[in-house]
Amino acid sequence: MSKRKCSTGMDAYVQKTPKSLEFSKVSQHVMPGGVTANIKFFEPYPVVMKKGTGAYLTDIDGNEYIDYLLSYGALMTGHGHPKVLDAIHKQMQEDGTLLFGTPHHLEVKMGQKIQSLYPSMEKIRYTNSGTEATLLSIRLAYAYTGKYKIAKFEGHYHGGYDQVLLSVNPPVDQAGPPRKPKAISESQGLHPNHLENTIILPFNDLEATNDILTTAQDQIAAVILEPIQAGYIPAEQEFMDGLRKITADLGILLIFDEVKTGFRLSLGGAQELYGIKPDLTALGKVVGGGFPFGIVGGKEEILNRSAPSAAADVFDSSQSKHSGARDVLFHSGTYNGHPTVLAAGLATIEILEQEIQQVFKRTTQLKKGINKLLSAKGIHSKTVGRGSIFNLIITDKENIKNYRDLQKSNFALRKEIDYHLLAQGIYTKPLNRYSLSTVHGEKEIEKTLEAYRKTLQKL
């Protein structure tokens, strides 16, 4: 492709990634939209990677990027960390198999480690993704309370299934009053009943949340929330304390979706920082060490609803007529507690126990550097987030408290910056949050800030 002046960040990106464009054309004949998950797509086409090492990705054109997407935050030890790879190889060699299909020692070893870091998780169950973890937590809440509605917060994402795929990114002009949001479907194919059975709450507004929950307390099994919305907009401490008291008083379970925040804000997640013990917790991403993985944990009396019984097995055709699978909450999965995944997850936790504070230090350094550069350019912005996650929000608003506040930011300018950064080898999906890892060091921070300087000069 001949060199030409790039008038926009997207032009610069397209000029740098011709093979990704060609791949995109071919992939559309294989997969709908050319991708296996909608989240992987961005306009005009996603960059296609072929290799990952440490803090870096290399695309099929041979361009190298510092990776701040990190598989949407999952890779907190970077790509191909030697200790994680060694743990995987060791498990395969010593066990002689990838999968037992039976109980094995790593299930207990990982469980005990999780219980030590998350005291609220008195009993646990393994799943194969964060989405499955939130799905199981809701089923447990239904079974325990005998109620069959849930409440979630506007702007919060808990997976791609029907009960929760509502009001994640709704048009503000259709989403109802700020203090009494309306349930808005985020996908075709959702049964209309979910618009009635999932109640939408306003994040960081305790008074309005209390009013909504009190009105429907006899119907709501649980409130599920991201304690840090989208991984970077934090709940206020007063709001979190109040929500814990309200749900307890009303007989509504409190579910923390810590799929994004588990291990990224502290080893004990957001609940450690806030000093809150939820009734149920869903974990995923980081704790899988790069593999599909999830964990549900919580109060023993709730988790025990899923304890198997010889007389209550959905697969047991010899069940008594007086007792059956309906008497126990069914949860199963061929790959639950996969030994290779648990080995990778345990190795990841061991690394973080030694290095997590350094990740936080580098994250703070990057945030301050970005803020300083944009401020010098006269751009009103802030880096919002805690721990090892943040997002760049271009706004003159002093406080970003929820989804509605976020919608008042300058997405167009942020996207333009992101495409210019992509063309200079700084990778995150446009408009997405930044996540750092143990392998993002001084050199990567300096390179990133230099790319910002060049980008701001172009603007």
Q: What is the pLDDT of residue 316?
A: 66
The 8-class DSSP code of residue 204 comes to T
Catalytic-residue membership of 45: no
Identity of residue 76: M
Q: Kindly list the averaged pLDDT for each block of 10 residues, start to end, along the chain of length 459.
A: 68 97 97 95 97 98 98 98 98 96 97 98 98 98 98 98 97 97 97 96 98 98 98 98 98 98 98 98 98 98 89 60 71 97 98 98 98 97 98 96 97 97 97 98 98 95
The tokens of 355 are what? 């290095």
Query: Which residue has tokens 């992987």?
Result: 40
Which entry of 68, 72, 142, 157 is annotated as an active-site residue?
A: 157
Q: Which residues pair with 185 in a beta bridge?
A: 166
405 in active site: no
Distance CA 385, CA 364 (A): 10
Q: Quick one: how far is CA 89 from the chain centroid?
A: 27
CATH 3.90.1150.10 residue ranges for the chain? 9-79+355-458
- Closest to 127 measured CA to CA, from 372, 294, 282: 294
Query: What is the enclosing helix (H) or strand (E) of 348?
Result: helix 339-376
CA–CA distances in Å: residue 79 to residues 205, 436, 446: 39, 12, 20
Q: What is the pLDDT of residue 309?
A: 74
φ and ψ at 283, to 5 degrees?
A: -120, 160
Q: How many residues does the chain have?
A: 459
Collapse the DSSP code of 18 into the 3-class scheme (helix H, G, I; strand E, B; otherwise coil) and give the result.
helix
The CATH code for residues 100-337 is 3.40.640.10
pLDDT of residue 113: 98
Identify the pLDDT of residue 189.
96
Tell me the torsion sign for CA atoms 53, 55, 61, 63: negative
Q: List the 426-427 sheet strands across, edge first.
A: 49-53, 56-59, 64-67, 426-427
User: Looking at residue 426, what is its pLDDT?
Assistant: 98
Q: Catalytic pick from 59, 257, 405, 418?
A: 257
Extended strands (E) in 15-164? 49-53, 56-59, 64-67, 123-127, 149-153
In the chain, which residues fall in CATH 3.40.640.10?
A: 100-337
The answer to whether 416 and 9 are in contact (CB under 8 A) is yes
Out of 3.40.140.10, 1.10.600.10, 3.90.1150.10, 3.40.50.20, select the CATH number for domain 9-79+355-458: 3.90.1150.10
Local structure of 410: helix, strand or coil: coil
Predicted local confidence at residue 327, as pLDDT: 82
Identified catalytic residue from 16, 147, 285, 415: 285
Q: What is the pLDDT of residue 7?
A: 81
The owner of tokens 């603007």 is 459
Q: What are phi and psi for residue 402, nearest 5 degrees?
A: -165, -175
The pLDDT score that the predictor gives to residue 325 is 63
Q: Which residues contact 136 (CB under 8 A, 6 or more apart)?
A: 125, 127, 282, 296, 306, 331
Is it true that the peptide bond before 339 is cis, omega within 30 degrees of 0? no
Q: Is 257 a catalytic residue?
A: yes
Task: Give residue 297's pLDDT.
Answer: 98
Distance CA(49)–CA(345), nearest Å, equals 24
